[in-house]
Amino acid sequence: MSRVSPRAGRSITSTDERAEDGAPWPRAGPSRTLGRVDDLARVTDRILELTRARFRLDAGALRPDDDLFQALGVDSVQALDLLSALELELGVELPDYELAEVRSFADLARKVRERL
């Protein structure tokens, strides 16, 4: 079974939890979403955890205030791919116009929390 990403119609197969590029995507747990979360720190931690797993980084490799592009060494297309995967994993849709303001993981966490 596959799900279609809200961004660009990309699909991620849920049976083997792999993105189109073949990279494994970690499970979020039974619900696969954060549900209603009022704790910004928890949202931030989850985004960092998922991103570290996606890019196979060590636990201390990313911090909330790190610049998304610089910390990961990605271009805008790769960043959109990551954001699409995060949207699916966290069960939230972030409009493109809101993402223009996102530079750090903390910025992204604030936007996700607003949408939960």
CATH number at residue 95: 1.10.1200.10
> What's the domain range around 81?
2-115
pLDDT at 34: 52
| Total number of domains in the chain | 1
Tens digit of each residue's pLDDT (9 = 90 or more) over 26-50: 444 433 445 545 588 999 999 999 9
Is the pTM for the entire model greater than 0.95? no
Q: Rounded distance, CA 23 to CA 31, Å? A: 21
The closest alpha carbon to 113, from 96, 91, 97, belongs to 91
Those residues of the chain that have pLDDT short of 50 are 1-20, 25-33, 36
